[in-house]
């Protein structure tokens, strides 16, 4: 009887301690992946998209998709008021683009195969990639 209680006690302790170790390691891994993502996004932005004033970016490591995304905003230019780009940094894949021009208004708005008609729709369509 004493041996059974002892085994139950040991198993209970292991059960309670195991999730804490897994959880803390997961937090550390998530942080490292986010840091790596930020560094990659900064490099890509400075090499390809930084036009000086009027260019900004956000990076996001999407844990659910296990992907690093960059969302770029470029303002200004002779005919373009606003251009937004979403891409997977490590997969080197474009996920979408939004372009609003002075002359014709919104001329391109799509995320993967989904077309959109406004900046608000664009922001809604990229949310699952930049917030999860």
What average pLDDT does this structure show over 40-68?
Answer: 92
Contacts 24+ apart (CB under 8 A), 23-29: none
pTM: 0.75
- The tens digit of pLDDT for each residue in 62-104 reads 999 999 999 999 988 777 689 999 999 999 899 999 999 878 8
pLDDT, residue 23, reads 41
Q: Parse the chain into domains and list their residue ranges.
A: 2-131
pLDDT, residue 8, reads 55
Q: Strand locations in 29-92, DSSP E? A: 55-62, 67-75, 80-88
Query: Look-up: residue for tokens 């560094």?
Result: 39
Whole-angstrom Cα distance, residue 90 to residue 41? 9
């Amino acid at each position: 009887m004493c041996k059974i209680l002892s085994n139950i006690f040991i198993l209970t302790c292991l059960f309670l301690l195991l999730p804490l170790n897994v959880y803390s390691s997961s937090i550390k891994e998530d942080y490292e992946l986010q840091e790596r993502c930020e560094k990659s996004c900064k490099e890509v932005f400075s090499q390809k998209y930084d036009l000086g004033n009027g260019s900004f970016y956000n990076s996001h490591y999407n844990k659910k998709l296990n992907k690093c995304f960059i969302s770029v905003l470029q303002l200004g230019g002779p005919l373009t008021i606003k251009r937004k780009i979403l891409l997977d940094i490590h997969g080197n894949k474009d996920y979408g683009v939004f372009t609003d021009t002075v002359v014709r208004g919104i001329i391109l708005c799509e995320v993967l195969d989904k077309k959109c008609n406004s900046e608000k729709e664009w922001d809604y369509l990229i949310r699952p990639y930049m917030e999860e």
